[in-house]
Structure 1
Amino acid sequence: MMEARMMGEKNWVLDIKEKLEQMVCSDEEELWKKHSIYRLPTYLKDLKKKAYMPQVVSFGPYHYGDKQLMPMEEHKQRALIHFLKRTDKPIENFLSAMEGVEQQLRGSYEMLDDVWKDGNKFVQLMILDGCFMLEVLRAATMRPVDLQSSHQSQRSNGYAHNDPIFSSHGKLYNMPHIRRDMLMMENQLPLLVLEKLVAIETGNPMNEDFINKLILKFCNPNAEVFKVAEGLHVLDVVRKSMLQGPHSRSPGPAQESSGEIIRSAMELDEAGIQFRTSKSHSLRDIKFHHGILSLPVIVVDDTTESTFRNLMAFEQYHIGAGNEVTSYVFFMDNIIDSAKDVSFLHSKGIIQNAMGSDKAVAKLFNELSKDVTLDPESSLDEVHKMVHDYCKKSWNEWRANLIHTYFRSPWAALSLLAAIFLLGLTVAQTVYTIVPYYKPNDDSFSSTIAPNSSPSPL
């Protein structure tokens, strides 16, 4: 027993010494630099499991084989066959291209199970999921007229009119669920996969702008599509589009952070701050100037929570990604305390509530920032400080306290007005009581002097 223990310790020591000799800091740096798709820790997923777990389809190795996602595997295989038939290119071409970047693709994932050490299996998964994603993006972004076909014929892209995924019916009922799953941190494919597939399909070097536009049209069909920088995966492209445009910094001298939470939207309104919509929809387009707080318009629906949670997770785990989305969520959490704040922001055109309930929207923003660390040098720190300092000015603070105390309730306002009216009546009554007391004496004095007075000699 003792000998076995000593042998185990000796082997451990030798193993550590070997690793010390092989250790090169630059290798670690290169390793972390490659990662762009991450497994999220249990504590984070436990906050809202449904927001991080795909419901209908898996992309990539992390959720491949999950029982609830298996029905979609049949549709993936069918999409691959349609893709190959339409491109009229041998599958060996796609396989060769993907094998050429296998290590780069593998390095995109933070942790891979041992089953994916099999290079053939990993490459096959990249091709299968990549073709399915491309087919989904193309089918969903086709014009409505292109989705119509007769029962006797097939659509121009090769799918039947009653296809459960790639038909107009599938676009209406199944694509929204696929879109939601495509925006989850653990459910990403490197965009390099799509670039390689399209390059082989077309025979031309891939322009990433083409894929970016497909992704943005799919994820936000009603929004104007702008050119965005090359992304790492779908989630990264969507994040870049949400931050599109210059960062609007408020003018004014730099100040040290006050360290205090700014008030809710209703309280800011009481302090004299006016709310307006920003000129763009960029989450970075938030500014405060001369008592006016400008915020971008945001549509809040059933997918907002999941999207924001995964965007924030990407910012948290991908070093160098930035913190703009997290900063925005914290800022909105600060100014939204209740349904009244949501209703107020809706009246100003800042929040478009597609959830129906103002209370649900308030709860959404209040829960989004739980257990998330905010960078002290966040992109909105300057706006935060200026709003806080504005509210702390004596006049604005007095104004806010007056409105909050006496004008929040109509009965309180009426009571204040009644009190002011009664005070006015009391003052008037006092004046009318005092004035006659002095005025008669003046008249009596004048009447007494007048008969005895005589005109001055000329």
Structure 2
Amino acid sequence: MLPPPPQLDPNETNWIVHVNENLNCMPKDEQHCWKSPSIYKVPPSITRLNREAYQPQVVSFGPYHYDEVDLRPMEEHKHRVLLHFLKRSGKSLECVFESLRKVAHELEDSYENLDQKWKEGTGGKFLELMITDGCFMLEIMRTEISEEKNNGYAPNDPIFSIHRLEYIAPYISRDMLLLENQLPMLVLYQLVAIANDGKEDDVNELIGKFYFLHENKNFTGLGRRLHVMDVFRKGLLMKSEGVQHERELYMGPEDMKISAKKTEPIIRSAIELNEAGIKFKKRKTNSLKDISFARGFLKLPVIKVDDTTESMFLNVMTFERLHIGAGNEVTSYVTFMDKIINDRQDVALLHTEGIIQNDFGSDKAVAKLFNSLCTDVTLPSNENLDGVQQKISEHCKEPWNKWRAILNRTYFRSPWTILSLTAAIFLFALTIMQAVYTVLRYHAK
């Protein structure tokens, strides 16, 4: 006979009933149960490592950092920009407001965990924020890339005069790339369409020129994007026009084969790879995913490192981590660079080859920067870089390259060891010559 079922107390019985009810009500397709935001609150598990990298310095965009004390001074300038926008476009604020109201719910859904005070039905505060912030963002980009001296503002304007804009634009462009400080791109699309009587100029191209003015990249075919960071990330991975078909001068058929073996992580620094006979060469495409290795040449894109690099990479990497389907190309690039940069000597080598343009500080500071970017970052799988790493690993395992690296580390890394080796070879040669001379004298007798 089966034993009697155990006796459950009322609390346990209620919980079991509740779970069974939920089980019966489970939807067949859970995909529709979840919203798909594109602008996220960065979780504390990420921000604890570097809070300032996710915090705007001069201006807030969107609801997450609105009305923070240090950012309030910019609010009056946003409202001035709105007046300029309305005057220049000839449209009424009612017209602008009504256009944005039609997509209000879509804009709200772009934000993860949007506070209830911003929801529809609370006096239009959310739409007011979208309109003023959107106009300000567009105006900053428009005036910064414009070649006209007269941008519609007074010569002594505290933000948009040529002198002031040159100073403050780098700070604003940095704040525009923070994940928590994004605006839905739909806001910018709508505002531009309103200003141009329904004709939607390519906002993507405007953003591309703002961030990649001198790199000749084409943003016109990107289609609808999520926000400024999304466009910027695409720009990082995009090839400059005119060099899309850069020829691989050192690539042979054997280099195109991707080993079926399990990829081994690169633990060698740039200096150590150089000692194993690997030469570094800069690519001309300026695309972060354009990394290749063939016949002893490791080709890397040029990267400029400055005061905004840390914040930019951390926020883009966090976007790739949180947004489903975003891809992991930027994170893969940063983790790859972290592997080949251990100290200032690695940075100095890459700088000499034109791969790192150091506008940040000492080579040691740049090395510390790349090493800190990958703290607590899970290494993503990337097919192209997995193949590159495998080929580098196989190159370093070849007997001659292993011996070459050992010789370089043992005898040629320090001037003193080179001097000692040279002296030893010289003494050995003298010894041989003396022995030969002694033998010749003996036979001459």
**TM-score (normalizing by structure 2):** 0.88
Match of 1:226 among 218, 225, 231: 218
Q: What does residue 145 of structure 2 align with?
A: 141
Distance 1:277 1:165, change over 3 A: same
**SS class of match (1:255):** coil
**SS class of match (2:413):** coil
Match of 1:396 among 396, 401, 404: 401
Counterparts in 2 of 1:244-393, with a 5 A limit?
Answer: 244-245=238-239, 251-393=256-398
> How far is 1:63 from its partner?
1.0
User: Deviations 1:344-375 (Å, cap 9, x if unpaired)?
Assistant: 11111111111231111111111111111111
Higher deviation after alignment, 118-127 or 84-93: 118-127
Q: What's the Cα RMSD here?
A: 2.5
C-alpha contact (below 8 Å) 1:139/1:166 kept by paired residues: yes
Q: What does residue 6 of structure 2 align with?
A: none
Q: What does residue 31 of structure 1 align with?
A: 34
Q: What does residue 186 of structure 2 align with?
A: 192
Residue 181 in structure 1 maps to residue 175 in structure 2: yes
Distance in 2 of aligned mates of 1:103 and 1:276: 49
Distance in 1 of aligned mates of 2:127 and 2:12: 38
> How far is 1:6 from its partner?
7.1
- Counting matched residue pairs gives 422
Distance in 2 of aligned mates of 1:30 and 1:254: 42
> How far is 1:261 from its partner?
2.5
Distance in 2 of aligned mates of 1:14 and 1:160: 70
User: Deviations 1:288-346 (Å, cap 9, x if unpaired)?
Assistant: 00001111111111111111111111111111111111111111111111111111111
> How far is 1:17 from its partner?
6.6
C-alpha contact (below 8 Å) 2:104/2:120 kept by paired residues: no
Distance in 1 of aligned mates of 2:32 and 2:398: 48
Instruction: Flag structure 2 segments of 5+ consecutive residues without an equivalent.
Output: 1-8
> How far is 1:96 from its partner?
1.6
Distance in 2 of aligned mates of 1:378 and 1:51: 29
Q: What does residue 128 of structure 1 align with?
A: 132
Instruction: Flag structure 1 segments of 5+ consecutive residues without an equivalent.
Output: 149-154, 441-458
> How far is 1:62 from its partner?
1.1
Specify the code of the residue in structure 1 equivalent to 2:27. Answer: V
**Bigger Cα Rg:** 1
Residue 240 in structure 1 maps to residue 234 in structure 2: yes
Residue 53 in structure 1 maps to residue 55 in structure 2: yes
Distance in 1 of aligned mates of 2:24 and 2:397: 59
Distance 1:7 1:401, change over 3 A: closer
Specify the code of the residue in structure 1 equivalent to 2:215. Answer: A
Distance in 1 of aligned mates of 2:276 and 2:67: 55
Q: What does residue 445 of structure 1 align with?
A: none
User: Deviations 1:421-447 (Å, cap 9, x if unpaired)?
Assistant: 21122223233334555676xxxxxxx
C-alpha contact (below 8 Å) 1:258/1:385 kept by paired residues: yes
Match of 1:430 among 435, 440, 445: 435
Q: What does residue 447 of structure 1 align with?
A: none
Distance in 2 of aligned mates of 1:317 and 1:22: 28
**SS class of match (1:174):** helix
**SS class of match (1:380):** helix
Q: What does residue 4 of structure 2 align with?
A: none
Distance in 1 of aligned mates of 2:368 and 2:392: 23
Distance in 1 of aligned mates of 2:154 and 2:64: 31
Specify the code of the residue in structure 2 equivalent to 1:212. Answer: N
Match of 1:65 among 67, 78, 81: 67
Counterparts in 2 of 1:107-126, with a 5 A limit?
Answer: 107-119=109-121, 120-126=124-130
Specify the code of the residue in structure 1 equivalent to 2:73. Answer: P
Specify the code of the residue in structure 1 equivalent to 2:174. Answer: R
> How far is 1:257 from its partner?
2.9
Counterparts in 2 of 1:63-102, with a 5 A limit?
Answer: 63-102=65-104
**SS class of match (2:163):** helix
C-alpha contact (below 8 Å) 2:39/2:182 kept by paired residues: yes
C-alpha contact (below 8 Å) 1:262/1:384 kept by paired residues: no
Distance 1:98 1:302, change over 3 A: same
